[in-house]
Structure 1
């Protein structure tokens, strides 16, 4: 568990790329919001044009998840996904180095009473969300109203890992590597609140299969095991960017009742259904460029072949 950033990496040549990226993010965080958005906007169309493999993954995911859509609809959401990823760069910069006052002016939180009610039970709280492009700023907004930390996947670049962790610990209580699940258990047993996004494919060893958009999907068992081990409440929260107003919303939903149940597969399906319902509201803000359906049940052909 991290309560402080790792030591600052050296300026050795192997780290120069990371230092350039971190410096640009720092600068972007302090520029006026309209300027920052204008600077990152070209990244979306450019990545859509050049990142052929990621574009194909997004197109395949949308084709299977929304079979009733026309080709034009899928193409529009694919382009929108890359635009959302570009906007995410500015959002990360605002969170990690910019002043919080800018974010407060353009954000709203709904359903905070549900988190308060779960905390009042005196047990831990598992905040469950999905990999939406505005998850970083969504977490930052909610942390203005509650104390918690998150489970995350460390970055390969030592400079960016240092910069990301340092930036997040400006506002988060702690950061827990996904490789250190025992720390999350300890925090939950101690009555703490842990943010967790389980909707990624980490292979069959950590997963069970449950439907997601009608597709049997490798779904992380931690969302069922953590509350079973700790007795914590499971509270869904979902962020979104409202294009028409330029504002960000964080919606906190009531704690799941009778969770976990007796059947892990049913529990996984409940979590997937929650995430799916939110994806349907803002599909272009979901992380479609991830190979969410890479792991297949025995006997099924490859999803992305």
Structure 2
């Protein structure tokens, strides 16, 4: 008889959602250690990315960051139980946020809004907190390979408001449809999806295939770009989310490639303040310019 995974997954994450912080932290320490030991290919990606982006730092420093990164990553996975099943009051206390007034002002002015969320560990925490503030939002979504996991993630992300999940197969056009209707778009600008619609833009002085979408949409639809960063405090278990004022004069007279380089430079600045917080397990430099050897 086929095992029904969805009820088990829901029960496990519901248990995590009801658990106190110390229990969730213990789970994260175990899963973070296992992740480093068992996910060797991902550990290799993290080491490669850190070496490319921080060649001036010692191997010992980068290895310390790797250990911290896997713990933070595990904590963010465990805490999805809290975001999907925990008490709203606990979620609000766990995700302090500053800068919501910037979004509110733009909503009152009926401006189109792109919430620019680079890949920090606290990405899902920030998204959950925003769904408790916004009535409706939209974001790109990559279908999970396991249908039970996919259903759980969809339910969790849409717990507090109407979240329009746009399949990556539908591309940017699906997001633009919601943007035109006045729905804020939660957009992740810093993944490597190949060279189509992208350009090689410096990221930590390494050419990185980067979509030009943010600059193009901002110019075409007069959309305000609001950066959002998040930081997980390993000691307190709190996710500190900062919402910045809209980027001034973006893209202005800059070309899409120049404006995208400006965004990458901003993301670099935020990463440098606390390197383990960035999502180093993704292959940010997967696509290479013609003739260059692959990093991974």
TM-score using structure 2 length: 0.92
Q: Is the 8 A contact 1:189 1:232 kept in 2?
A: no
Q: What CA distance in whole angstroms lies between the structure 2 residues aligned with 1:55 and 1:109?
A: 31
Corresponding position of 1:177: 167
- The range that moved more, 238-247 or 269-278, is 238-247
Which of 23, 46, 58 aligns to 1:35? It is 23
Q: CA offsets per residue over residues 252-299 of structure 1, 9 Å max, x none?
A: 111112222441111111221222111112211211111100101122
Q: What CA distance in whole angstroms lies between the structure 1 residues aligned with 2:220 and 2:52?
A: 35
1:249 has 2:237 as partner: no
Q: CA offsets per residue over residues 24-68 of structure 1, 9 Å max, x none?
A: 223222222322222232010111012111111100100110011
Q: Is the 8 A contact 1:142 1:250 kept in 2?
A: no
Deviating above 6 A after TM superposition, structure 1's stretches of 4 or more consecutive aligned residues are none
Q: What CA distance in whole angstroms lies between the structure 2 residues aligned with 1:245 and 1:85?
A: 15
Query: What secondary structure is seen at the aligned counterpart in 1 of 2:25?
Result: helix
- The range that moved more, 23-32 or 49-58, is 23-32
Q: What CA distance in whole angstroms lies between the structure 2 residues aligned with 1:285 and 1:129?
A: 13
CA drift at 1:100:
1.5
Structure 1: 5+ residue stretches without partners: 1-11
CA drift at 1:70:
0.8
1:289 has 2:281 as partner: yes
Q: CA offsets per residue over residues 154-184 of structure 1, 9 Å max, x none?
A: 2111111111111111124222222223221
Q: What CA distance in whole angstroms lies between the structure 2 residues aligned with 1:52 and 1:30?
A: 31
Q: What CA distance in whole angstroms lies between the structure 1 residues aligned with 2:19 and 2:198?
A: 42
Q: Is the 8 A contact 2:6 2:152 kept in 1?
A: no
Q: Is the 8 A contact 1:124 1:187 kept in 2?
A: no
Q: What CA distance in whole angstroms lies between the structure 1 residues aligned with 2:92 and 2:32?
A: 25
Taking the TM superposition and a 5 Å limit, the aligned residue runs for 1:1-305 are 13=2, 16-17=4-5, 20-147=8-135, 148-174=137-163, 175-180=165-170, 181-261=172-252, 262-304=254-296
Q: Number of residues paired by the alignment?
A: 292
RMSD: 1.9
Q: Is the 8 A contact 1:125 1:234 kept in 2?
A: yes
- The range that moved more, 60-69 or 18-27, is 18-27
Q: What CA distance in whole angstroms lies between the structure 2 residues aligned with 1:55 and 1:283?
A: 15
CA drift at 1:19:
5.1
CA drift at 1:16:
4.2
Q: Is the 8 A contact 1:123 1:190 kept in 2?
A: no
CA drift at 1:137:
1.0
Q: CA offsets per residue over residues 174-210 of structure 1, 9 Å max, x none?
A: 2222222322111111222010112111111132111
Q: What CA distance in whole angstroms lies between the structure 2 residues aligned with 1:40 and 1:246?
A: 11
Q: What CA distance in whole angstroms lies between the structure 2 residues aligned with 1:16 and 1:201?
A: 34
Q: Is the 8 A contact 1:129 1:275 kept in 2?
A: no
Structure 2: 5+ residue stretches without partners: none
Corresponding position of 1:9: none
